Chain A
Amino acid sequence: MFDFDIVTSWFNGLLTGFMPQWAATLIECVVIGVIVLLVYALLALFYILYERKLCAWFQCRLGPMRVGRWGVLQVFADMFKILIKELICLKGTDKFLFKLAPYIVITSSVTMLACLPWGKGLQIIDYNIGIFFILAVSSVGILGILLAGWSSNNKYTLIGAMRSGAQMVSYELSLGLAMITIVCLAGTMNITEIVAEQDKAWFLFRGHIPAIIAFVIYLIAATAETNRGPFDLPEAEHELTAGYHTEYSGIHFGFFYLAEYLNLFIVSGIASLMFLGGWMPLHIPGLDGFNNVMNFIPGPVWFLAKAFFISYVIIWFKWTFPRIRIDQMLSFEWKYLMPIALANLVLMACFVAFGWHF
């Protein structure tokens, strides 16, 4: 596999060759920041189109068709429009919090995006507690949603925010437990090492029974974490008009919209890193010829393909399943999902202790 460390070290060497270390670091930070934001925006736009096209196909329709070939420019039209829409700030709202909320949501999701490795050496920071950091940052996003709901001074948004709080706090547990199951198998929280461990075979296959259970739990909890159907209660369109962002217009609404789609990518990305080997190609032990061919496909392509596939599944849920009710959702989590996740963790610990995995 091509190691991106070579590129980044070369760039660092180039800069430090003619300027002091601090200036080089500063420039690197700026470049990385710009790249992250750019990738963020492009990915979000891609995801919006991806979902619109997919749901159109589920529903025997065509989806956007008129701008650009196959409607690929549709999202750019939306972006231009939403950028120039009026920003409404209402009387009686908590103006500071009202304006702050979308930025909290988007910051949290940008930070999470920055933690994902896209290929070997193609990452910003290689934390030794990477998984833990991602979990911690993802909880910050809830704050934004709660604030948005509260500061709008609207009963619908308040109900949406409360639902969102209850939902995210609950499902974070299962999400964490499913991830810990894999951490238990991998023996590390460092994302690079987790991926490297999957060189021989992906964790989904290596850990077989407990890993598959963890994968299913993760998918369900991730769907809930991203507020997508059937868990889209915080913005349940047919109950709360638009949920917590009812009162937001223009680009403030755009931030929520972007963050929603990017969170979908992030949870799919994490799933691909933890269960499907991230940027690691598909390796089948014993078939060396096949493995060599797979190695020619670059890491980022693998990573994106896996993430898009998982997103596809989550989008499929959204457009097919009816919305779950709040009490059903909570009892599902606390009565079924979390106990199963806990038991699964014990199971995985046994598997690891007795070496029953591959």
Chain B
Amino acid sequence: MSDIKNIIGKICPEAQFTDGDILEVTVPDMVWHPLAEALRNTKGLEFDLLSAVVGMDWKENFGVVYYLTSTVRNWDMLTVKVIAADREDPMIHSVSDIWGVANFQEREVFDFFGIKFINHPDMRRFFLRNDWVGYPLRKDYDASPELNPIRLDDEINEDDTCAYIEQPDGSIVKEDRKVFGPDEYVINVGPQHPSTHGVMRFRCALDGEIINKVDIVSGYIHRGIEKLCESLGYPQTLHFTDRMDYMSAHMNRHCLCMCVEKALGIEVPKRAQVIRTMMDELMRISSHLLSFGCAAMDLGATTAFFYGFREREQVLDIFEKTCGARMSMNYNVIGGVVADLHPDFRKDVKALIEIMPERLKEYHKVFTGNIIAQNRMKGVGILPKENAISYAITGPSGRGSNFSCDCRKKHPYAVYDEVDFDEVLLDGCDSFSRYMVRMKEIEQSCRILEQLVDRIPEGEIRAQVPKLIKLPVGHWYQQVEASRGTFGVYIESDGGKTPYRMHFQSPCFNLVGAVDQCTRGLMIADLITVEAILDFVIPDIDR
């Protein structure tokens, strides 16, 4: 850690360090861009993965917190706090030229806080309408409905964007830009389209069937969860996590619980840890089955969809017996889980593990082995490993590009360090590899379940937690491996009973950032393939 301090100190003498769980560096905006370049490229630092970007409003000034990870140096993490100089017109230098993922992340921060990113190529709002008044996550946001009524007229100026370009003399000039030229043939895929898996909108510039450019318009299901969390107590915020990526409900909630537990220093009983791990893996199986089914359906093989759902129902039955719901289970709570396992749990899980290998063979027979399916997936949506890291594509999609990024291995949590499983890595970098990673991960999840199902220890399911949960002053970041990649929760507390700022770093947000990159020069049908197999869940992107 001191090496890093030395190296950073040499590059940037203004930096202030705070020790902690993760080393934190605070810098003013002036030096941020050169520092970022150095962090990315200098030997001994090599922070090549931008894990999270959290916009902040510290009342006296605005800033952004960047969480960096080094994939080459043992998954070492670093926090960089960048503080904008001016509260009235906050500006920060963009790092979208260094980490691809920063492009959309910075647009999100701009949308929420109005922080303008200098040299960012496309400073549009990301979630809210173009004509939205105000920046909702600012602490002085005026939420009166008169300012932003329900507008039933269409948005205008969809093609207009702007960039704030720094001139050689240091001044900032606003430059108007267009997303698409006047003679491009643009079609809308979405927001209501059968295969966008929700309400994403892709504006595609076409040349015949070939896609030249995809412009992503998001926010059709932006519910403002982060703002809502700021007015709720910690236990009350939990239920939102189930409704973000509803296919990773257990994992997301696990993550938030762990983050709060970390802040409070609560030790979770072993039984609860094992139950959480098993639920996470069951959720992963259910999610990958859904993903398989939907991918097959989007490619036109309708029957495979029904086979995937048949087994998914069996997983949902297990959830229903223990948690009381098929979806939105609300099962994890701070300190443990809300209810003990159903007496049938062991039997049901064993039955599931027993049938899965056979059923997977059936899927491969019905869909994977099909020559048309292989032709549709192989070589489509190439995402090389460097790009996967730059765009922070984690989860099965990243592992299909041979990017080893499994949080369960890198920062083991719950009881993942006690079970034996493999991180599935394939090096095809195309849709087929991503698809196969998912199918193989189902096997690995079954393996984890098999090891745990007879080893659930007796004991408490919940630790003692205070009635009124108040976090100490400070901030925490926690990651878990959700079904679609690394899910992170950032909590900043001012000591009150509600969070000062809560940010969810969702894996799907990064996945959608890579769509344009993956689909250039492909056909419309390939866009559907890439979407289906990247398998993003839109409410997780929009939050």
Point out residues on A near B: beta carbons under 8 Å: 55, 58-61, 155-156, 159, 163, 229-230, 232-233, 236-241, 319-328
Stretch at the interface among B59-67, B269-277, B343-351, B365-373: B365-373
18 contacts between A and B (CB under 8 A): A58-B303, A59-B306, A60-B310, A61-B306, A159-B524, A230-B372, A236-B525, A239-B524, A239-B528, A320-B370, A321-B370, A322-B370, A322-B373, A323-B300, A323-B376, A323-B525, A326-B525, A328-B376
CA distance A321 to B523 in the complex (A): 20
- Interface status of B73 (Cβ within 8 A of chain A): no
Cβ B195 vs Cβ A239 within 8 A: yes
B302 within 8 A of partner (CB): yes
Q: Which 3 A-B pairs have CB atoms at the shortest separation, nearest pair first? A: A323-B300, A322-B299, A238-B195
Contacts of B306 in A (CB 8 A): 59-61
B209 at the interface (CB under 8 A from A): yes
Quick one: which of B194, B300, B370 contacts A229, CB cutoff 8 A? B300
The reply on B193 being an interface residue by CB < 8 A is yes
**Partner pick for A325 among B301, B303, B307, B526, CB 8 A cutoff:** B526
In whole angstroms, how far apart are the Cα atoms of A2 and B294 in the complex? 52
Task: Decide: A59 and B194 in contact? CB cutoff 8 A.
Answer: no
Question: Residue of A at shortest CB range from B210?
Answer: A327
Given contacts A60-B306, A238-B528, 4 further A-B contacts (CB under 8 A): A230-B300, A238-B298, A319-B303, A323-B376
Partner of B525, one of A58, A61, A237, A325: A325
A60→B373 CA distance, assembly (Å): 22
A336 to chain B minimum Cβ distance, whole angstroms, is 12
Tell me the chain B residues, 156-214 only, with Cβ under 8 Å from chain A: 185, 187, 193-195, 209
Inter-chain contact A322/B301, CB cutoff 8 Å: yes
- In whole angstroms, how far apart are the Cα atoms of A58 and B301 in the complex? 12
CA distance A159 to B373 in the complex (A): 22
Interface string of B80-91 (1 = CB under 8 A from A): 000000000000
Provide the bound-state CA to CA distance between A238 and B298, in Å: 6
For the complex formed, measure the closest distance between the CB of A104 and the CB atoms of chain B, giving whole angstroms. Answer: 25
| A159 / chain B contacts, CB cutoff of 8 Å | 187, 209, 524
| Chain B: minimal CB distance from A329 (Å) | 10
Assess whether A241 is in contact with B193, with CB atoms less than 8 Å apart: yes
Contacts of B194 in A (CB 8 A): 237-238, 241
Taking the complex as formed, is B297 at the interface, i.e. its CB lies under 8 A from any CB of chain A?
A: yes
Chain A residues, CB < 8 A from B296: 322
The answer to whether A322 and B303 have CB atoms under 8 Å apart is no
- Residue numbers in A under 8 Å from B185 (CB-CB): 155
**Residues in B whose Cβ lies below 8 Å from that of A323:** 299-301, 372, 376, 525
Are the C-beta atoms of B209 and A326 separated by less than 8 Å? yes
A238-B185 Cα distance, complex, nearest whole Å: 20
Smallest distance from the beta carbon of A226 to chain B beta carbons, Å? 15
Q: Which residue of B lies closest to A327 (CB)?
A: B523
Q: B residues within 8 A CB of A319? A: 302-303
Q: Is the CB of B300 within 8 A of A321?
A: yes
Q: By DSSP majority rule, is chain A's interface helix, strand, loop, or mixed?
A: helix
Shortest Cβ distance from B532 into A: residue: A238
Q: Which of A156, A240, A321 lies in contact with B301, CB distance below 8 A?
A: A321
Interface presence of B375 (CB below 8 A): yes
Of B194, B209, B300, B302, most A-chain CB atoms within 10 Å? B300
Instruction: Count chain B CB atoms within 10 A of each CB in A60, A61, A159, A321 and give the residue with the most.
Output: A321
- Asked if A155 and B187 sit within 8 Å, CB to CB, the answer is yes
Question: Which residues of chain A are near B187, meaning CB under 8 Å?
Answer: 155-156, 159
- Residue of chain A at shortest CB distance from B295: A322
Shortest distance from the beta carbon of B311 to any chain A beta carbon, whole Å: 12
CA separation between A176 and B86, bound complex, in Å?
A: 75
In the bound complex, residues from chain B placing their C-beta under 8 Å from that of A327 are 209, 523
> In the assembled complex, which residues on chain B have CB atoms less than 8 Å from the CB atom of A322?
296, 299-301, 367, 370, 372-373, 376
Among residues of B, the one whose C-beta sits closest to the C-beta of A237 is: B194
In angstroms, Cα B525 to Cα A233, docked, is: 9
* Residue of A159, A241, A322, A328 with highest tally of chain B CB at under 10 A: A322
Q: How distant is the Cα of A60 from the Cα of B304 in the complex, in angstroms? A: 11
CB proximity of B356 to chain A, nearest CB, Å: 17
Instruction: Please state if A238 and B303 are interface contacts (CB–CB under 8 Å).
Output: no
A143 to chain B, nearest CB (A): 22
Q: Which residues of chain A are near B367, meaning CB under 8 Å?
A: 322
Q: Report the bound CA distance from A322 to B366 in whole Å.
A: 10
Tell me, rounded to whole Å, the shortest Cβ–Cβ distance linking A32 to chain B.
Answer: 39
Cα–Cα, bound, A6→B485 (Å): 75
List B contacts of A326 (CB < 8 A). Answer: 209, 523, 525
Q: How far is the CB of A1 from chain B (nearest CB, A)?
A: 40
Specify which chain A residues have a CB less than 8 angstroms from the CB of B300 in the assembled complex: 229-230, 232, 236, 238, 321-323
Q: How far is the CA of A323 from the CA of B525 in the complex (A)?
A: 9
Min Cβ gap A85→B in Å is 20
Across the interface, which residues of B come within 8 angstroms of A321, CB to CB? Answer: 300-301, 370, 372
Q: Is the CB of A320 within 8 A of B528?
A: no
CA distance A319 to B299 in the complex (A): 11
A327 to chain B, nearest CB (A): 7
Which residues of B from 244 to 303 have beta carbons under 8 Å from A?
Answer: 296-303
Q: Are A59 and B302 in contact (CB under 8 A)?
A: yes
Complexed CA–CA distance, A236 and B529 (Å): 13
Kindly state the separation between the CA atoms of A328 and B523 in the bound complex, as whole angstroms. 11
Residues of A within 8 A of B528 (CB): 238-239
Chain A proximity of B365: nearest CB distance (Å): 11
B211, chain A: closest CB distance, angstroms: 12
| A58 cross-chain contacts in B, Cβ below 8 A | 303
Inter-chain CA distance A321–B370, complex, in Å, is 7
Contact with A along B501-542 (1 / 0, CB 8 A): 000000000000000000000011110100000000000000
Nearest CB in chain A: distance from B314 CB, A: 13
Contacts of B209 in A (CB 8 A): 159, 163, 326-327
Of A230, A232, A237, A320, which one neighbours B303 at CB under 8 angstroms?
Answer: A320
Q: Which residue of A lies closest to B209 (CB)?
A: A326
The CB with the most chain B CB atoms within 10 A, among A55, A325, A327, is that of A325
Shortest beta-carbon distance from A298 to chain B in Å: 35
Contacts of B302 in A (CB 8 A): 55, 59, 319
A325 — which chain B residues lie within 8 A by C-beta?
375-376, 523, 525-526
Cα–Cα, bound, A240→B193 (Å): 8
CB distance from B151 to the nearest CB of A (A): 23
Residue of chain B at shortest CB distance from A166: B209
